[in-house]
Chain A
Amino acid sequence: MAAELKKIDLLDDDARRESFLSTIRQALGHDAKSPSPKPDSRPIRSERLLRQVESDSPQLVNRWIEKARGNGMTVVESTFSRAAEPVIEFLMAHKARTLMVNFSSNPAPAIEEKLVSAGYELHHWGDADCMKQAFKCDASLTDCRYGVADSGGFLVWSDPKFGRSSTLTTAVHIVLLPKRLILADLIDAMPKILSDNNGQMPSNAVVINGPSKTGDIEMKLVTGVHGPKYLCAVILGD
């Protein structure tokens, strides 16, 4: 059982802060009261050690597909004009009838029209009840910012148009990924988070590498623990 806690005053943060930092400075042999100097240099990360896929590799897309399938994703290749077909096929396979739709920068009205014509019930991120619908819908359909070929994942981040929940809460998630957005390596993707956001970090950026899974029970692979159980990537080319 925890010992009785002394009441702590959150407003006393400054005193606690000074005491904490002073302890660290002393531990490092620095002056306890002075602000800490910036280091002259830091270890340089070598691209040679990190890069697994060359950015001009002709096999970029194939590499992404191979890794994504290995991660447990279903991957289908299609064209922009026929993208609705694999989407509907996947929804049918998993008996999904209601969808949360969320596109950050690559809206797909043509796909939405076809889904509505096929009888699917669409909800949009940003609607008044979208938070509730994100939990109720059978599936979600989103785009993403980039694919990352070395790991077979894709990168999303939140902003006023793109939610966190739309890639997290439904049992089925379908993501549209144009080939031109597939980057070679994680070291190419990281700088994009800042450069695409005017040098500011978004509140939440995620590299998603496959459906939710665990091996906690006797190392038996189980999918869909909290996040999506079924994840399909539709790779779009012309």
Chain B
Amino acid sequence: MTSVLTEPKARQTRVSLPVFRSDFMADAHEASADKRLQTAMDNSVTKRDMGRKTTLAELPDANALRELAGQIKRHTLDHLDYYLELLETNVKKQGGQVHYAADSQQANALIVEIAKRTGSQLVVKSKSMVSEETELNDALTEAGIEPLETDLGEFILQVDHDHPTHLVMPVVHKNAADIGHIFERYFKTDFTDNAQTLAEMARVHLRNRFNEADLGVSGVNFAVAETGSIVVCCNEGNGRMCVSRPRIHVALMGMEKLIPALDDLPVFLKLLARSASGQSLTQYSSIVSGARRPGEVDGPEEFHLIIMDNGRSRILAGEYRDTLRCIRCGACLNSCPIYRKVGGRTYGSVYPGPIGALLTPLFNGLEQHKHLPHASSLCGACFEACPVKIDIPKFLIMLRGDQVKAHITPWAERAIFKLWTVGLRYGWTYRLSQIAQRIGMRLLKDKQGWIKNLPPPVNGWTKQRDFPAPAKEDFRTVYKRYRQQQRQAGGH
């Protein structure tokens, strides 16, 4: 198997995901100090995590079901070539068209070409992280075609020229007042922060646009190879509008979204909404199989499925294949103490949180995203939350190892770990290093016995914490003396 390291240089440096921000440490500090962000995260993300646990408990054996879901995804990935061809065959049997896109440029170009050929001027979009990957909106705009987000959260971000910071709750970083001001500017109306009123404003505005739109773009939660169907799960109903009202429907999917058969679908439907938002199912689970049939009054006249690679085949080929199991539920984000603190923007690209810390370096290369594999305390909460059992901590550790092998880590860190290895190798080197450490640390302590300022390059440790100086004597010395005293006293 190849790995990120053994990839030819040209492929390693090819960026697949857009990079919005690149100073992880500065962004993390800023986000941690942002009280509004912290409040928003506490309100939203922790509630979702609790909801997940509550609704998973409804299932006969949630842990075993997650195991099964992971196995189905692994099986599909191991035979992805077969299932892609099966999906294509069955989509075409229903009159749909299938297009393959090697990268985001091709995906965008395909959609632009379909729009141009069908004379589409307005494209309505339901929530799609894959379209964020490709920056589809920019491509459409440059081609003179108007893209319009219809998910409430995505619509707010579009009018505010911002990016989503969560896979499922895109506008989690904004409060009602923020949104009220955004709508005040956009709709040129009086300010309100009433959520129902704000939603109503968006409904009225978007409703008219659905009727004007020529083309609807949706993402794909699952693609069922056996039936040639795609599944779109949503709560608002905009997903249903996008796949039903316009005369052309384009579904854009990452190639890993496949599942083999219709009887696999309940496994994932029962886990997805529970993991994402603590619901037993989303309000609408749509199974779309092509365009409208003869005699049907509504539904699109044409259905196009675009299957995109954009770097996934590199991951498929290597030891990180299981990261492609991800069903983009956001459960790992909701459970992650780091994400809750630093928010989604800090991760710098399309996918935030633990899964983003894995995928972004895998797609774009470790060099550009050095901090992401370390944006984790390895507590394992993400692994416990993941409905398809991606062992995220294990893969993060592997990425850290890849960084070391590629000499991407700071020289000082490598030097310290080298010294540490030497110190741990033999008993005498260990004792010697302990003596040296004790002497050195005790020189740094203050009158109360605390070390508050370590010198560079380890001064980062004491920027935000103090720790006690080592004791005068180490345990071995104390224990040796204790044993001597015992022997002298006639003990063992």
Report A's interface with B, CB cutoff 8 A.
Answer: 1-10, 13, 16-17, 19-21, 23-28, 30, 35-39, 42-43, 45-46, 48-52, 67, 71, 125-126, 130-131, 134-135, 150-153, 158-160, 163-165, 168, 185-187, 190-191, 193-194, 201-220, 222, 224-228
Contacts and interface: CB of A to CB of B under 8 A. Distances in A.
A136 B30 CA distance: 48
B148 interface: no
Contacts of A37: 82
B165 to A, nearest CB: 12
B121 to A, nearest CB: 18
State the majority secondary structure of interface residues on B. helix
Interface in B45-88: 47, 58-61, 64-65, 68, 71-72, 75, 78-82, 84-85, 88
B453 interface: no
Nearest to B287: A205
- Most chain-B CB neighbours within 10 Å: which of A39, A194, A207, A214? A214
B316 A24 contact: yes
Interface stretch (B227-235, B374-382, B418-426): B227-235
A11 B368 CA distance: 37
A5 B102 contact: no
A207 B232 CA distance: 11
A33 B47 CA distance: 50
B170 interface: yes
Given A20-B100, A45-B68, A209 B280 contact: yes
A126 B298 CA distance: 10
B190 interface: no
A165 B244 CA distance: 8
Given A17-B100, A201-B229, A226-B150, A158 B202 contact: no
Contacts of A45: 68, 72, 263-264, 266-267
A38 B291 CA distance: 28
Contacts of B99: 10, 13, 16
Given A42-B260, A225-B238, A226-B150, A204 B243 contact: yes
Given A67-B280, A216-B170, A224-B203, A203 B236 contact: no
The list of the 9 closest CB pairs from A to B, nearest first, reads: A227-B237, A160-B295, A226-B237, A36-B81, A201-B289, A27-B317, A20-B100, A8-B109, A36-B82
A36 B79 contact: yes
A206 B285 contact: yes
B291 A203 contact: yes
Nearest to A160: B295
Interface string B266-284: 1101100000010111111
A4 B262 CA distance: 40
20 contacts: A5-B109, A7-B109, A10-B117, A13-B100, A16-B99, A35-B85, A37-B82, A39-B82, A46-B64, A49-B68, A52-B60, A158-B293, A191-B263, A202-B293, A207-B285, A214-B152, A217-B179, A217-B199, A224-B200, A224-B203
A72 to B, nearest CB: 8
B298 A207 contact: no
B81 A150 contact: no
Nearest to A27: B317
B313 A218 contact: no
B153 A216 contact: yes
Contact of A43 (B72, B88, B307): B72
B5 interface: no
B169 A39 contact: no
Contact of A203 (B80, B264, B283, B296): B296
A172 B480 CA distance: 82
B254 interface: no
A21 B65 contact: no
A88 B241 CA distance: 28
A5 B195 contact: no
B108 A5 contact: yes
Given A42-B72, A52-B60, A216-B156, 17 more contacts: A5-B139, A5-B142, A26-B317, A28-B81, A36-B81, A48-B61, A52-B58, A126-B297, A190-B262, A209-B282, A216-B171, A217-B195, A218-B43, A218-B176, A222-B195, A224-B199, A227-B284
B113 interface: yes
Interface in B119-141: 135, 138-139
A152 B196 CA distance: 25
Interface in B301-332: 307, 309, 313-314, 316-317
B175 interface: yes
Contacts of B267: 45, 49-50
B38 interface: no
B171 A8 contact: no
Contact of B78 (A28, A190, A203, A225): A28
Contact of B269 (A23, A24, A165, A186): A186
B106 interface: yes
A30 B200 CA distance: 53
- Most chain-A CB neighbours within 10 Å: which of B114, B207, B296? B296
B215 interface: no
A219 B43 contact: yes
A43 B71 CA distance: 7
A231 to B, nearest CB: 9
A185 B266 CA distance: 9
Nearest to A49: B65
Contacts of A134: 298
Contacts of B81: 21, 24-25, 28, 30, 36
A126 B297 CA distance: 7
Nearest to A17: B100
Given A48-B60, A50-B65, A222-B199, A168 B240 contact: yes
B452 interface: no
A202 B282 CA distance: 20
Contacts of A51: 60
Contacts of B237: 168, 212, 225-228
